[in-house]
Amino acid sequence: MMWWYGPGMNGWGYGLMTISMVLFWALIIFGIVALIRYIGRAGQVSTDRPTPRRLLDERFARGEIDEEEYRRRVDVITADTRPRATS
């Protein structure tokens, strides 16, 4: 049995269906690309930010701090800051 009610889809219906399918697949592809880019960046370590030691070296090189201050701060930076277990 054929379920035929009225004239069916006209040109506007086909146009909207085409546009909605293109948007649907564009959204799916965009989501996959965004996920791949996010996962790819998760493993990278950003080297843009200078380390505390590098900042201290630069300040010493510019003459902002003297050698005594530099040595004291280097000792603080390189000190083992983990809590020690008491027996």
The residue ranges of every structural domain in the chain are 50-79
CA end-to-end distance (rounded Å), the chain:
87
The answer, as to whether pTM is greater than 0.75, is: no
| Chain position carrying tokens 């996962």 | 39
Quick: pLDDT tens for 7-44: 667 778 888 999 999 999 999 999 999 999 998 887 77
